[in-house]
A and B are shown apart, each in its own frame.
Chain A
Amino acid sequence: MEDIIKEDILEEVESCEPNFWQRLFSNKMAVFGAIVILILFIIAIFAPLIAPYSFDAIDLPQMLKGPNTENILGTDEFGRDIFSRIVYGSRISLKVGFIAVGISLVIGTILGALAGYYGGITDYIISGITDIAYSFPVSLLAIAFVAALGRSLTNLIFAVALVSWSGYARLVRGQFISLRNREFIEATKILGMSDVRIIFKHMLPNSMAPIIVLTTLEIPKAIIVESSLSFLGLGVPPPAPSWGSIMSSGRAYIMEAPWIAIFPGLMMALAVLGFNLFGDALRDTLDPRLKD
């Protein structure tokens, strides 16, 4: 009986592993999402090569020009090239998205792991703080943070991280609680492994699937929070271009020069869509139970 189960499991593991990418990319949405993300990275990395102008090259005679052969997406109120600003803006969106989510991933995972692994009073305290942080309205907390500490790229990143770590803590805690009583974890304890080793070598790798999925879905959220803050004028100080801040300056000219606001928003919607599609597909492939 046991042998049969073991074989079943082995078969399942074998049939899962080599086919992962194949299964993921058999989903057209995943392919589309991955391509969008890839293009976004290429744009951000090679921004100086792709952008025809500098992001802060003021050219007053050319101001508020609609899309034309010289400025394919038009110009803003200072005659700056919208296309070039959007290209450079992708750097800020990705930077904030990845660094902020990276920080919250590390903080949230460590806290969630401690709470889930040790339980008891540790869990009580950490879960209490996590629940409080989780119930804070996301954008208001970020606004409060930037309002208090002033606007800069660093503060923006921390503001975004501040609002997303609690999701990781809750997720990892839940994972660890369900793993804690599994046989293979008990075996590691009997073998006398240290807590650190059990957490990092055995429990964390077994919780990776939902963590990765959460990350692909947190990044677009972080990008949206960043652009909302920049739109409110609480993001990266000018003249650095963020999609949100370009849209913010476009708001004043929405009647006579709608392209200033339309194109960065379009770019952002596409980027967020890419991450969402890829994240959804990843979730379905890695762990169908997570499908909401």
Chain B
Amino acid sequence: MLKYIIKKLLLMIPVLLGLTIIVFLILHLAPGDPVHKVVGPNATPEVYENVKRSMGLDRPLIIQYFDYLGNLLKGDLGSSILQHRPVADIVMERFPITIGLGVRALLLSFLIAVPVGIIAAVNRNKLLDYFAMTFALVGISMPTFWFGMLLLYFFAYKLRLFPISGYGTWKHLMLPVITMGLTDAAVIARMMRSSMLEVIGQDYIRTARAKGLKEKVVTNKHALKNALIPVITLLGMRMGWIVGGSVTLEIIFSIPGLGRTMVDSIFSRDYPVVQGSILILAASVMISNLIADILYAVVDPRIRY
């Protein structure tokens, strides 16, 4: 077990290094000259060269990359071209908002999806199953941001139950969390149903029934525990979708999270902020995948690598 966890942790190193290379290259492949942006169009060639040197852009790319990596390890993500303050500060301010939204949505989706998946599986090929899975299929086919706009239109604008924009109270969080939670629940419910169906077909469930246990006990005690295992890994994987999806939702619901910051910075060509946001968002997804992998091995003793 320990060996497996160490192996997984070691595997994270090349993954994270790959991420830093991609993020580093964004700045260097990006259209436009970053020095030009700092010095303005009327700078003399001398000023231009000086700034270029002070930004470290006159040195070979590979040296610049290792510089970047060294700074990163010190927690220095560079500084914003437009806001004139460290990117790390901006990220620290915005990132908790995105994660808070994501965790709430994930929680909601599991609370909905696990019971729905079980009910569908237990009533396989009956009306209830058919209903649940039709809704789930519609859920996975809808673009999340579109669903968000629909909810915003009906519940905030038409029914005036929630504020249309702004951020700060629980009321502002309701619609984005529901949007994300419901669309994600669709995916997890499908997974939960098939996982449950597979477990129900196993010999030990037949044994439990043969022992004369009540159907409720068989479902809740014997089947559910085992059926939940693969769904746990989804926890980490869904975090990736949620962080990705939160980019569009933060824009629709005007939430000042990191996803929105990233998109705004792409348009204002504030590339250090773009780099920092992508780095932190992607790293958080990868780390939650790692945690899910380890959790999976802990919960399922059959996993031995």
Q: Which residues of chain A are within 8 angstroms of B149 by Cβ–Cβ distance?
A: 247, 250-251, 254, 261-262, 265
CA distance A132 to B13 in the complex (A): 10
**A276 at interface, CB cutoff 8 A:** yes
**A148 at interface, CB cutoff 8 A:** yes
Q: CB distance A224 to B267 under 8 Å?
A: no
Q: Which residue of B lies closest to A276 (CB)?
A: B141
**A231 at interface, CB cutoff 8 A:** yes
Q: Which residues of chain B are within 8 angstroms of A272 by Cβ–Cβ distance?
A: 141-143
Q: CB distance B248 to A138 under 8 Å?
A: no
Q: Which residues of chain B are within 8 angstroms of A228 by Cβ–Cβ distance?
A: 143, 145, 244, 247-248
Q: CB distance B157 to A254 under 8 Å?
A: yes
- Within B192-237, which residues are at the interface with A (CB < 8 Å)? 194
Q: CB distance A131 to B11 under 8 Å?
A: yes
Q: Which residues of chain A are within 8 angstroms of B251 by Cβ–Cβ distance?
A: 232, 251
Q: CB distance A143 to B252 under 8 Å?
A: no
Q: CB distance A276 to B140 under 8 Å?
A: yes
CA distance A196 to B30 in the complex (A): 40
Q: CB distance A247 to B150 under 8 Å?
A: no
Provide the B244-267 mask, 1 if CB < 8 A to any CB of A, else 0: 110110011000000000110011
**A17 at interface, CB cutoff 8 A:** no
How many residues of chain B have a CB within 8 Å of chain A? Answer: 50
Given contacts A137-B282, A255-B153, A292-B194, contact A147 B26 (CB under 8 A): yes
Q: Which residues of chain B are within 8 angstroms of A147 by Cβ–Cβ distance?
A: 26, 30, 266, 274, 278
**A150 at interface, CB cutoff 8 A:** yes
**B191 at interface, CB cutoff 8 A:** yes
Kindly provide the distance from the CB of B115 to the nearest chain A CB, expressed in whole angstroms: 19
Selected from A136, A244, A276, the residue in CB contact (under 8 A) with B282 is A136
- Within B1-44, which residues are at the interface with A (CB < 8 Å)? 11, 14-15, 18-19, 22-23, 25-26, 29-31
Q: CB distance A144 to B22 under 8 Å?
A: yes
CA distance A148 to B27 in the complex (A): 7
Q: Which residues of chain B are within 8 angstroms of A82 by Cβ–Cβ distance?
A: none
**A140 at interface, CB cutoff 8 A:** yes
**B240 at interface, CB cutoff 8 A:** yes
CA distance A39 to B266 in the complex (A): 37
Q: CB distance A138 to B240 under 8 Å?
A: yes
CA distance A205 to B243 in the complex (A): 38
Given contacts A262-B150, A273-B138, A292-B191, contact A135 B243 (CB under 8 A): no
**B286 at interface, CB cutoff 8 A:** yes
**A220 at interface, CB cutoff 8 A:** yes
Kindly provide the distance from the CB of B84 to the nearest chain A CB, expressed in whole angstroms: 21
Q: CB distance B247 to A139 under 8 Å?
A: yes
**A102 at interface, CB cutoff 8 A:** no
Give me 21 A-to-B residue pairs in the complex whose CB atoms sit less than 8 angstroms apart, sorted by A's number.
A128-B14, A132-B15, A135-B289, A137-B285, A143-B263, A144-B278, A147-B278, A220-B141, A231-B145, A234-B266, A244-B143, A247-B146, A247-B149, A255-B164, A261-B149, A265-B146, A268-B146, A269-B142, A269-B143, A292-B190, A292-B191
